Amino acid sequence: MSESVDTQVAGNGFEPMIVAFFCNWCTYMAADLAGTSRMKYAPNVRVIRVMCSGRVDPQFVLDAMAQGADGVLLGGCHPGDCHYQEGNYKALRRYRLLKRLLTDLGIDEERIRLEWISAAEADRLRDVVNEMTEQIRSLGPANLQVPQEQFVKPVPISLEVSV
Protein backbone atom coordinates (compact mmCIF):
# COMPACT_ATOMS: atom_id res chain seq x y z
CA MET A 1 0.00 0.00 0.00
CA SER A 2 1.46 3.38 -0.93
CA GLU A 3 2.37 6.18 1.48
CA SER A 4 -0.26 8.52 0.12
CA VAL A 5 -3.04 6.04 0.75
CA ASP A 6 -1.85 5.58 4.34
CA THR A 7 -1.85 9.28 5.10
CA GLN A 8 -5.19 9.64 3.44
CA VAL A 9 -6.62 6.83 5.55
CA ALA A 10 -5.13 8.28 8.73
CA GLY A 11 -6.56 11.65 7.71
CA ASN A 12 -9.96 10.01 7.33
CA GLY A 13 -9.74 8.91 10.95
CA PHE A 14 -9.14 5.21 10.40
CA GLU A 15 -9.30 3.41 13.72
CA PRO A 16 -8.00 -0.16 13.58
CA MET A 17 -10.27 -2.86 14.91
CA ILE A 18 -8.23 -5.58 16.60
CA VAL A 19 -9.81 -8.76 17.90
CA ALA A 20 -7.84 -10.29 20.76
CA PHE A 21 -8.10 -13.82 22.11
CA PHE A 22 -6.64 -13.83 25.63
CA CYS A 23 -5.94 -16.87 27.76
CA ASN A 24 -7.99 -16.91 30.96
CA TRP A 25 -4.98 -17.69 33.19
CA CYS A 26 -2.40 -15.15 32.08
CA THR A 27 -3.01 -12.56 29.39
CA TYR A 28 -6.62 -11.96 30.39
CA MET A 29 -5.44 -11.56 33.99
CA ALA A 30 -2.82 -9.10 32.75
CA ALA A 31 -5.58 -7.11 31.05
CA ASP A 32 -7.52 -7.23 34.32
CA LEU A 33 -4.47 -5.99 36.21
CA ALA A 34 -3.95 -3.21 33.67
CA GLY A 35 -7.54 -2.15 34.31
CA THR A 36 -7.35 -2.21 38.10
CA SER A 37 -3.99 -0.39 37.88
CA ARG A 38 -5.75 2.29 35.83
CA MET A 39 -3.31 1.94 32.97
CA LYS A 40 -4.28 3.64 29.75
CA TYR A 41 -3.91 1.94 26.41
CA ALA A 42 -5.40 2.03 22.94
CA PRO A 43 -9.14 1.22 22.97
CA ASN A 44 -8.92 -0.58 19.60
CA VAL A 45 -8.76 -4.08 21.02
CA ARG A 46 -11.91 -6.17 21.47
CA VAL A 47 -10.95 -8.86 23.95
CA ILE A 48 -12.43 -12.35 23.85
CA ARG A 49 -11.54 -14.53 26.81
CA VAL A 50 -10.68 -18.14 26.03
CA MET A 51 -9.64 -20.79 28.53
CA CYS A 52 -6.30 -21.34 26.79
CA SER A 53 -4.45 -19.98 23.76
CA GLY A 54 -4.59 -23.60 22.58
CA ARG A 55 -8.37 -23.19 22.33
CA VAL A 56 -7.96 -20.66 19.54
CA ASP A 57 -8.95 -22.54 16.42
CA PRO A 58 -7.46 -20.98 13.25
CA GLN A 59 -11.09 -20.66 12.16
CA PHE A 60 -11.61 -18.03 14.89
CA VAL A 61 -8.86 -15.87 13.42
CA LEU A 62 -10.15 -16.26 9.86
CA ASP A 63 -13.69 -15.55 11.00
CA ALA A 64 -12.63 -12.40 12.86
CA MET A 65 -10.85 -11.13 9.76
CA ALA A 66 -13.77 -12.02 7.50
CA GLN A 67 -16.04 -10.04 9.82
CA GLY A 68 -13.93 -6.93 9.52
CA ALA A 69 -11.05 -7.17 12.02
CA ASP A 70 -7.94 -5.35 10.79
CA GLY A 71 -5.75 -7.46 13.05
CA VAL A 72 -5.91 -10.39 15.43
CA LEU A 73 -3.90 -10.60 18.65
CA LEU A 74 -3.43 -13.88 20.49
CA GLY A 75 -2.23 -13.87 24.08
CA GLY A 76 -1.03 -16.94 26.00
CA CYS A 77 1.10 -18.04 28.91
CA HIS A 78 4.88 -18.06 28.65
CA PRO A 79 6.40 -21.35 27.41
CA GLY A 80 6.40 -23.85 30.24
CA ASP A 81 3.66 -21.98 32.14
CA CYS A 82 0.55 -23.32 30.40
CA HIS A 83 -2.23 -24.17 32.83
CA TYR A 84 -2.95 -27.19 30.63
CA GLN A 85 0.71 -28.19 30.17
CA GLU A 86 1.07 -27.64 26.42
CA GLY A 87 -1.86 -25.64 25.05
CA ASN A 88 0.36 -22.66 24.30
CA TYR A 89 2.76 -24.83 22.29
CA LYS A 90 -0.14 -26.03 20.17
CA ALA A 91 -1.16 -22.40 19.70
CA LEU A 92 2.39 -21.57 18.61
CA ARG A 93 2.49 -24.37 16.03
CA ARG A 94 -0.86 -23.38 14.53
CA TYR A 95 0.08 -19.71 14.59
CA ARG A 96 3.32 -20.26 12.68
CA LEU A 97 1.52 -22.12 9.88
CA LEU A 98 -1.54 -19.84 9.85
CA LYS A 99 0.72 -16.84 9.49
CA ARG A 100 2.30 -18.39 6.40
CA LEU A 101 -1.14 -19.19 4.97
CA LEU A 102 -2.28 -15.58 5.45
CA THR A 103 0.94 -14.17 4.00
CA ASP A 104 0.59 -16.44 0.97
CA LEU A 105 -2.91 -15.04 0.47
CA GLY A 106 -1.41 -11.54 0.44
CA ILE A 107 -2.36 -10.43 3.95
CA ASP A 108 0.31 -8.43 5.83
CA GLU A 109 1.95 -10.64 8.41
CA GLU A 110 1.76 -7.88 11.07
CA ARG A 111 -2.00 -8.32 11.13
CA ILE A 112 -1.71 -11.47 13.21
CA ARG A 113 0.41 -11.59 16.35
CA LEU A 114 0.99 -14.06 19.15
CA GLU A 115 2.44 -12.82 22.45
CA TRP A 116 3.25 -14.54 25.72
CA ILE A 117 2.03 -12.24 28.51
CA SER A 118 1.83 -13.45 32.11
CA ALA A 119 -0.74 -12.35 34.69
CA ALA A 120 1.80 -9.95 36.19
CA GLU A 121 2.81 -8.24 32.94
CA ALA A 122 0.14 -5.56 32.67
CA ASP A 123 2.68 -3.06 31.38
CA ARG A 124 3.72 -5.46 28.65
CA LEU A 125 0.09 -5.93 27.66
CA ARG A 126 -0.31 -2.17 27.41
CA ASP A 127 2.82 -1.86 25.27
CA VAL A 128 1.86 -4.73 22.94
CA VAL A 129 -1.64 -3.36 22.39
CA ASN A 130 -0.36 0.16 21.76
CA GLU A 131 2.36 -1.06 19.42
CA MET A 132 0.06 -3.31 17.41
CA THR A 133 -2.59 -0.59 17.13
CA GLU A 134 -0.03 1.83 15.71
CA GLN A 135 1.37 -0.81 13.35
CA ILE A 136 -2.06 -1.55 11.95
CA ARG A 137 -2.98 2.09 11.80
CA SER A 138 -0.02 2.61 9.49
CA LEU A 139 -0.94 -0.46 7.42
CA GLY A 140 -4.49 0.81 6.94
CA PRO A 141 -7.72 -1.19 6.80
CA ALA A 142 -7.45 -4.88 5.94
CA ASN A 143 -10.09 -4.59 3.19
CA LEU A 144 -10.91 -8.28 3.15
CA GLN A 145 -14.52 -7.86 2.11
CA VAL A 146 -15.21 -9.63 -1.16
CA PRO A 147 -16.50 -7.00 -3.60
CA GLN A 148 -20.04 -7.44 -4.85
CA GLU A 149 -19.36 -7.67 -8.53
CA GLN A 150 -21.45 -5.88 -11.07
CA PHE A 151 -20.21 -6.88 -14.45
CA VAL A 152 -19.26 -3.75 -16.31
CA LYS A 153 -19.51 -4.18 -20.04
CA PRO A 154 -16.60 -2.41 -21.71
CA VAL A 155 -17.18 -0.51 -24.90
CA PRO A 156 -17.47 -3.12 -27.64
CA ILE A 157 -14.60 -3.11 -30.08
CA SER A 158 -15.61 -3.24 -33.69
CA LEU A 159 -13.07 -4.27 -36.21
CA GLU A 160 -13.27 -2.83 -39.67
CA VAL A 161 -12.51 -5.56 -42.16
CA SER A 162 -11.89 -4.65 -45.75
CA VAL A 163 -13.09 -7.40 -48.03
Residue among 86 and 134 whose Cβ is closer to other proteins: 86
Residue 84: other Cβ atoms inside 10 A: 15
* Long-range pairs, 58-63, Cβ under 8 A, ≥24: 58/94, 58/98, 60/21, 61/21, 61/98, 61/112
- Binding part of the chain for other proteins, among 8-16, 40-48, 129-137, 155-163 by CB under 8 A, reads 155-163
Instruction: Find the DSSP H helices in 14-152.
Output: 27-36, 58-66, 87-104, 122-139
Interface with other proteins, residue 107, by CB under 8 A: yes
Q: Residue 45: helix, strand or coil by DSSP?
A: strand
- Classify 49 as helix, strand or coil: strand
Stretch that binds other proteins, among 15-23, 36-44, 130-138, 154-162 (CB under 8 A): 154-162
Stretch that binds other proteins, among 6-14, 24-32, 68-76, 148-156 (CB under 8 A): 148-156
Q: Is residue 62 close enough to count as binding other proteins by CB under 8 A?
A: yes
Q: Which residues bind other proteins (CB under 8 A)?
A: 1, 57-59, 61-63, 65-66, 79, 86, 89-90, 92-94, 96-98, 100-101, 104-108, 142-144, 146-147, 149, 151, 153-154, 156-159, 161, 163
